[in-house]
């Protein structure tokens, strides 16, 4: 064969077999998604309900796989063995009761075999009567809010309601009831390592049981298309030993003290004028003429500005490790890695340290405060606001000066 002929035949081969080549590439890409230790791997359950789901899907998958292989094998065999070679048409027959009965009974047995464990798993997943704590979960464009009502949770007394965002903190080995709803459109809550999905629907409350075996961070994301920044609506569940959970609760209930640092003190002023109409900081007070705190708390009113009627509570921002729909880190890469790689026994102490100045990822938060919609599209320009009945769908660009941003960051760094 000459070189030219060889090249032509190679080209022909690739052309003829392009379907196969494509299938191999597609399979490789898909299998790549099965990497070990992926943060959202539903096949590595870390809680009771996720384990139930996995224990069901595995045998069902195997049974379905065997049926698939047999049926496909028979089809292929018949296609090849009885292909048209110009032979005479075979004699047509009609009806074969024995075969028909057998081919009805076998699938029926298979379906019953799959159906019984499926139905029983569905019922056990829906069970919430054995839960010991309640957390209200509210989806909105494009972040999750968690509210802990007054209760005793895992033996820990929550004396006042706690409001936080992005990270669902829960005591390990405790059955927690999530009451899921939405403030605007339909979202869906899914932490793959802990449980299946549950839709968040405005005007409805959907229950979902959660529990984590071990301390650690379990990633998730909104799984119902909810508009512009759906892809930036993530969340983490954080498991803590009960003793650490008690410390977390105590931290969350502390009111923000008046800053001592001069820069943070100016930041508090800017926060009052620029941010507090949407964001609540518990403990922030209006000032007297002489700059001391009055006894009037500053109360936010996001319902006037935001479609969802809500914005994240920033009292304890630096006790979280992410912000803006858990999409950006408050921790720098090194500290983030240390936290995510920490053993279950070391995790709690590290998490409870919060974002210390040496661990702080300033760059992303700075960009956010400078121009939030440039970082996360939120349909919040003035023109879009006008189309939206005078409300933003997210945080607008506030056109702050560099100085104001420095001061606000100093102020936010003290929100622990």
In the region spanning residues 349 to 388, those forming contacts with ligand HEC, defined by CB under 6 A, are 369, 376, 378
Of 163, 201, 122, the residue nearest 315 (C-alpha): 163
Q: Which residues contact 51 (CB under 8 A, 6 or more apart)?
A: 45
CA 334 to chain centre: 22
Nearer to ligand HEC, 47 or 312 (CB): 312
Select the residue interacting with ligand HEC from 45, 216, 354, 394 (CB under 6 A): 394
Task: Find the binder of ligand HEC among 379, 398, 406, 416 (CB under 6 A).
Answer: 398
Pair of tokens at residue 166? 């992005």
- Among 47, 325, 354, 373, the residue binding ligand HEC under the rule CB under 6 A is 325
User: Nearest distance from residue 387's CB to Cu ion, in Å?
Assistant: 21
The site partner of 325 among ligand HEC, Cu ion, none (C-beta below 5 to 8 Å per kind) is ligand HEC
Answer yes or no whether residue 200 interacts with ligand HEC by CB under 6 A. no
Distance CA 210, CA 390 (A): 38
Residue where the block lists tokens 């320009």? 381
Helix (H, G, I), strand (E, B) or coil at 318: helix
Q: Please give, one letter per residue, the 3-state secondary structure of 177-232.
A: EEEEEECCCCEEECCCCCCCCEEECECCCEEEEECCCCCEEEEEECCCCCCCCHHH
Q: CB of residue 143 vs Cu ion: minimum separation in angstroms?
A: 9
284 near Cu ion, rule: CB under 5 A: no
Of the candidates 133, 226, 256, 372, which one interacts with Cu ion according to CB under 5 A? 226
Tokens at residue 364, please?
């992303």
* Residue 311 engages ligand HEC in binding (rule: CB under 6 A): yes
Cα separation, 326 vs 168, whole angstroms:
11
Name which position in 305, 347, 351, 360 contacts ligand HEC (CB under 6 A): 305
Question: Minimum distance from CB of 166 to ligand HEC (Å)?
Answer: 5
Q: Which does 143 bind (CB under 5 to 8 A by kind): Cu ion, ligand HEC, none?
A: ligand HEC
Binding range to Cu ion, per CB under 5 A, among 191-199, 214-222, 316-324, 388-396 = 214-222
* Contact by Cβ (8 Å): 305, 278: yes
Nearest CB to Cu ion, comparing residues 226 and 311: 226
How far apart CA 393 and CA 383 sit, in angstroms, is 12
Report the residue from 408, 410, 413, 414 that binds ligand HEC according to the rule CB under 6 A: 408
Q: Of 135, 141, 149, 188, give the one whose Cα is nearest residue 310.
A: 141
Nearer to Cu ion, 223 or 274 (CB): 223
Longest dimension (CA), the chain: 106
Using CB under 5 A as the criterion, which residues of the chain lie in contact with Cu ion when the complex forms? Answer: 187, 222, 226, 233
Using CB under 6 A as the criterion, which residues of the chain lie in contact with ligand HEC when the complex forms? Answer: 142-143, 165-166, 274-275, 277-279, 302, 305-306, 311-312, 314, 317, 323-325, 369, 376, 378, 392, 394-396, 398, 400, 408
């Amino acid at each position: 064969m000459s070189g030219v002929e060889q090249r032509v035949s190679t080209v022909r081969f690739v052309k003829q077999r392009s379907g196969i080549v494509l299938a191999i590439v597609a399979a490789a890409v898909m299998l790549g998604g099965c990497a070990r230790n992926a943060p959202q791997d539903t096949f590595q359950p870390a809680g009771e309900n996720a384990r139930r789901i996995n224990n069901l899907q595995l045998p069902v998958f195997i049974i379905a796989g065997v049926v698939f292989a047999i049926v496909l094998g028979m089809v292929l065999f018949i296609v090849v063995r009885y292909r048209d070679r110009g032979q005479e048409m075979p004699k047509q027959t009609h009806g074969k009761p024995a075969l028909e009965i057998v081919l009805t009974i076998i699938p029926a047995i298979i379906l019953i075999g799959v159906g019984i464990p499926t139905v029983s798993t569905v019922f056990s997943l829906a069970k919430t009567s054995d839960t010991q704590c309640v957390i209200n979960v509210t989806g909105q464009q494009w972040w999750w809010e968690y509210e802990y009502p007054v209760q005793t949770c895992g033996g820990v007394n929550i004396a006042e309601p706690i409001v936080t965002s992005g990270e669902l903190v829960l005591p390990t080995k405790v059955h927690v009831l999530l009451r899921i709803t939405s403030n605007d459109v339909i979202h869906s809550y899914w932490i793959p390592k802990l449980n299946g999905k549950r839709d968040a629907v405005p005007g409805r409350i959907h229950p979902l049981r959660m529990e984590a075996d071990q301390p650690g961070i379990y990633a998730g994301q909104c799984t119902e298309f909810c508009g512009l920044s759906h892809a930036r609506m993530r969340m983490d569940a954080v498991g803590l030993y009960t003793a650490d959970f008690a410390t977390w609760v105590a931290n969350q209930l502390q009111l923000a003290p008046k800053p001592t640092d001069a820069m943070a003190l100016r930041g508090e002023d800017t926060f009052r004028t620029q941010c507090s109409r949407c964001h609540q900081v518990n403990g922030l007070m209006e000032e007297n003429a002489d700059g001391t705190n009055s006894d009037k708390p500053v109360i936010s009113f996001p319902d006037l500005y935001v479609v969802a009627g809500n914005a994240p509570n920033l009292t304890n921002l630096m006790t979280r490790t992410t912000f803006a729909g858990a999409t950006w880190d408050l921790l720098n890469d090194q500290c983030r890695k240390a936290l995510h790689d920490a053993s279950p026994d070391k995790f709690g102490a590290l998490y409870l340290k919060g974002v210390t100045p040496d661990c702080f990822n300033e760059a992303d938060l700075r960009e956010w405060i400078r121009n939030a919609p440039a970082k996360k599209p939120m349909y919040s320009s003035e023109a879009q606001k006008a189309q939206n009945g005078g409300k933003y769908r997210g945080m607008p660009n506030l056109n702050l000066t560099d100085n104001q941003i420095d001061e606000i960051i100093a102020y936010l760094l003290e929100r622990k």
